[in-house]
Amino acid sequence: MTSSAGKFPHIEAVVREIVPLATDMKEFTFERADRMPYAFRAGQHFLVWNGNKYSAFSLTSLPRETSRFNFAVKRHGELTSYLLDEVAIGDKVTITLPQGRGFDPEKLVGRELWFIAGGIGLMGLSAQILEIEAEPERFGQNHKLFYGLKDRSELLWPDRLESWRKFMTIDITGDGRHLLGDLLHEGIEGHAQVTALICGPAVFFQPIYRLLVKIGVLPDYILTNIWE
């Protein structure tokens, strides 16, 4: 059942699980209150409505699991503080249906995928990485994650990252190195079978885009779900 008190149609979601992540971050598992499926594509996000304004959050779970869905929250303003400090298991939250185009499957299947995450940008890439883990035969090989952090206290999903190392190369900053210049640099060889997926602050995109093109990644295969 949907309503439309704000700009977008609304649905009610029930909190089923809350897991602490890094400092001032938690991951929430939601289920639609009407038990209908919540279908989405990797790279999409949804909006939480607090009766006054919307805040956007990336969907972090495996898209094929439509009965429940996850998103992660970092403290940044009034609504995120409400979610982190006041919302409990069993509570209802007003949200929208999935927003944004997500990642184009035609640019992913059979290809080598490079994931480039700045800080909490890993939240926006998680769903697609989980798709590789669930169905590796659909994708190419030699997948990579370049994960930039100010420091390791911001590290998301350490156990999940260890599991992902089974099918992708992972390099993480937070140790004094930088994402651009140390992890990503002109000495890396890109090629026409690479699809790069970028998620991070908006200012993050252009310098990384220019570098990827310079090392041989095709411009049409540089994707982002930066929606801020």
Write down the pTM of the prediction. 0.94
More confidently predicted of 109 and 201: 109
- Domain boundary (43, 68, 96) is at 96
Could you tell me which of 11, 15, 18 has the C-alpha nearest to residue 31?
A: 15
Q: How confident is the model at residue 18 (pLDDT cuts 50, 70, 90)?
A: very high
Domain boundaries, position 217: 105-224
How far apart (Å, rounded) are the C-alpha atoms in residues 141 and 162? 18
88 and 194 share a domain?
no
- Domain boundary (96, 119, 141) is at 96
**What is the tens place of the pLDDT at every residue in 174-197?**
999 999 999 999 999 999 999 999
- The residue-averaged pLDDT of 45-50 equals 96
Q: How confident is the model at residue 122 (pLDDT cuts 50, 70, 90)?
A: very high
219 and 110 share a domain?
yes
Domain assignment present for residue 195? The answer is yes
Domain assignment present for residue 142? The answer is yes
114 and 216 share a domain?
yes
How far apart (Å, rounded) are the C-alpha atoms in residues 87 and 95? 14
111 and 220 share a domain?
yes
Which helix (H) or strand (E) covers residue 92, if one does?
strand 92-96
Domain assignment present for residue 4? The answer is no
133 and 165 share a domain?
yes
Query: What's the CATH code of the domain at 122?
Result: 3.40.50.80
